[in-house]
Amino acid sequence: MLRWRIPGRVCEHEEALKAGKPVVLASSALLRAFLHAGLPYRSYAFGGREWGKTFVLDEHDQLREWVPE
């Protein structure tokens, strides 16, 4: 994470994950992360089946679609 750190700025997602809390992510954030990591990302891109969705990454590193109640 040091590579992407902006001096003086706290990354809320990083802090939440360190504290064992789930984080809510847009498909665009996952697209960027997967693309950077060399993982399959096309389903999160425009026109993909996951495009425009919102996801929850939980404290057990499980990713699921967030559906409003």
The whole model's pTM is what?
0.76
pLDDT at 18: 85
| pLDDT tens sequence for the chain (69 residues) | 445 667 788 788 888 888 889 999 999 999 998 998 999 999 999 999 999 999 999 888 899 999 888
DSSP string of 3-65?
Answer: GGPPTT---HHHHHHHTT--EEEEHHHHHHHHHHHT---GGGSTTSTTTT-EEEE-TTS-EEE
**And the tokens for 64?**
């699921």
